[in-house]
Amino acid sequence: GVGNMGGPMAANLVKAGHAVKGYDLSQTAIDRLVEAGGSVAKDLKDAASEVEVVVTMLPAGEHVREVYQKTVFGVAKSGSLLIDCSTIDVESSREVHAQAAVAGMDMLDAPVSGGVTGAAAGTLAFMCGGSEQAFERAKPLLDVMGANIVHAGAAGDGQAAKICNNIMSFTNLIVGLDMPTLSVLLIM
């Protein structure tokens, strides 16, 4: 997707001189990609065909599994690099990684932190899981979109690191609240 997060990430890749072909269900998102200098894929198959790298930013594990299983693995070239920047469950991530290996493709789970502002500024944090080879192949692209890129370990470990990051962020939020506000949140 090239929506709220994927759109600015794609725009930063275009600014860095990369050819970006994107797809999204939202016409507004597609229009923004074109304004940034990217090209439009007619569908998911077109988006994953004849490219060296496929980057996905999707809402949930079920969407990641569906996009990769029903489309990407059937049309992407053997040897392609797959980077999933979605924040999803570890199990789905590891399942898709295993299927990528069978298809002869390098894969990296690389969920992000930093929000829309970080995506636009190119200052995202990427927590990456996958082989060292996939990480090294992805790093030059991630450097364009982020400021902090960490290889957390094997397949799915980027997702595990992101879960820990979210827990720490929520803990900091709760600790910073005054007692009446905290009491209301705990009752809910």
Rounded CA separation 69/112 (Å): 23
Rounded CA separation 150/137 (Å): 14
Residue 121 has what DSSP assignment? H
Pick from 125, 129, 142, 115: nearest CA to 55? 142
Catalytic residue among 21, 42, 139, 162: 162
- Residue 77 falls in the annotated catalytic set: no
Rounded CA separation 108/55 (Å): 10
Catalytic positions, please?
Answer: 162
